[in-house]
């Protein structure tokens, strides 16, 4: 029987675009003649265009930091509503009305955070549970594109090679997607934070105690005296993600 909260993680390779070049991103996403003109890219993204490449996702994700809609420190009450709805679903027999409400609330939540892996994951789950396989895959593809972009921005093993994110929660969602348990993040510089792992991550025989994330975009317009509280990841109620096929 299908389980709740599918994490459809298909990340066979890192995104080709790599570390964000802010000047290039700004120039290309603002140029109406560019293949990466932002309004056109966003239209394709919202339409579930399957031809979007990793490079397209790179400009979509990091180009969002230059949009007026980008408000990384704003609260997202619709996400809270979506999580509450998901927590009350019977994974063996989900209620159709609740699933349809999740989709509606999820669309509102995406207006504040269109690249949230958590929201995209829940949208994919809801459509899949409703029997709409086409939309299930479309939302899964969006989530995987975002995750590949973040993973491709840096290995996260050192302060000089951090993974770049638009929202604090995106960092935690990516770690959850990798099946890693983590502790409380700590600031290591004006733009970078370190997220420790509960169990060290072994890479090529070396133990990695955590990952570095560049949050500089979040801080660009940070109100004076503002304190941010971490949100939950999508893994709750002991429900584990699955791989979408």
What digits encode the pLDDT tens for the residues 178-199? 899 999 999 999 899 999 999 8
Residue 226 lies in a domain: no
Give φ, ψ of 51 to 5 degrees.
-90, 0
CB of 65 closer than 8 Å to CB of 161: no
Which two structure tokens, joined as six digits, stand for 188? 């290591």
pTM of the model: 0.86
Neighbours of 226 (CB within 10 A): 9
Determine, yes or no, domain membership for 3: no
Q: For the chain, how many structural domains are there in total?
A: 1
Domain assignment present for 234: no
Residues 19 and 150: their CA atoms lie apart, in Å, by 9
**13 belongs to a structural domain:** no
Containing structural domain, residue 100: 22-214
243 band by pLDDT with thresholds 50, 70 and 90: very low
Question: Residue 147 above 90 pLDDT?
Answer: yes
End-to-end CA distance of the chain: 15
Q: Could you give the residue ranges of the DSSP H alpha helices within the chain?
A: 22-30, 38-46, 54-63, 77-87, 96-112, 117-129, 133-152, 168-177, 216-219
pLDDT range class, residue 1, cuts 50, 70, 90: very low
The pLDDT tens digits for 77-130 are: 999 999 999 999 998 889 999 999 999 999 999 999 999 999 999 999 999 999
- Angstrom distance (rounded) from CA 121 to CA 125: 6
- Average pLDDT in the 17-40 region? 95
Q: In what order do the strands lie in the sheet with 206-214?
A: 163-164, 206-214, 192-203, 186-187
Q: Is the pLDDT of residue 234 over 70?
A: no
Whether pLDDT at 4 is above 80? no
In a domain, 240, yes or no: no
User: Distance between CA atoms of 154 and 67, rounded to whole angstroms?
Assistant: 23
Give a yes or no: residue 50 inside a domain: yes
> Is 245 contained in some domain?
no
Task: Give how far Cα 144 sits from Cα of 88, 89, 152, 193, Å.
Answer: 26, 24, 12, 23
* Per-residue tokens: 118: 């958590």
- The verdict on residue 10 lying in a domain is no
**Looking at the predicted structure, is the pLDDT value of residue 11 above 90?**
no
pLDDT of residue 241: 42
Q: Could you tell me the pLDDT band of residue 240, with boundaries at 50, 70 and 90?
A: very low
- Quote the pLDDT of residue 226: 52
**What is d(CA 153, CA 134) in angstroms, rounded to the nearest whole number?**
29
């Amino acid at each position: 029987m299908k389980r709740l909260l599918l994490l459809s993680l298909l990340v066979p390779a890192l995104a080709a675009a790599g570390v964000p070049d802010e000047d290039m991103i700004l120039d290309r996403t603002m140029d109406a003649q560019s293949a990466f003109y932002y309004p056109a890219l966003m239209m394709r993204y919202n339409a579930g265009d399957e031809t979007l490449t990793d490079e397209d996702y790179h400009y979509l994700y990091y180009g969002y930091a230059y949009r007026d809609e980008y408000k990384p420190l704003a609260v997202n009450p619709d996400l809270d509503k979506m999580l509450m709805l998901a927590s009350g679903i019977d994974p063996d027999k989900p209620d159709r009305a609740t699933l349809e409400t999740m989709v509606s609330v999820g669309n509102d939540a995406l207006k504040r955070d269109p690249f949230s892996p958590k929201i995209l994951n829940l949208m994919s789950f809801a459509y899949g549970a409703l029997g709409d396989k086409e939309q299930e895959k479309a939302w899964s593809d969006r989530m995987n594109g975002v995750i590949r972009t973040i993973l491709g921005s840096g290995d996260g093993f050192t302060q000089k090679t951090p993974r770049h994110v638009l929202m604090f929660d995106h960092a935690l969602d990516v770690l959850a997607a990798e099946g890693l348990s983590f502790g409380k993040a700590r600031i290591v510089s004006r733009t970078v934070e370190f997220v420790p792992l509960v169990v060290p991550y072994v890479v090529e025989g070396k133990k990695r105690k955590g990952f570095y994330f560049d949050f500089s975009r979040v801080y660009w317009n940070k109100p004076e005296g503002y304190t941010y509280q971490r949100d939950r990841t999508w893994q709750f109620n002991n429900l584990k993600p699955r791989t979408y096929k």
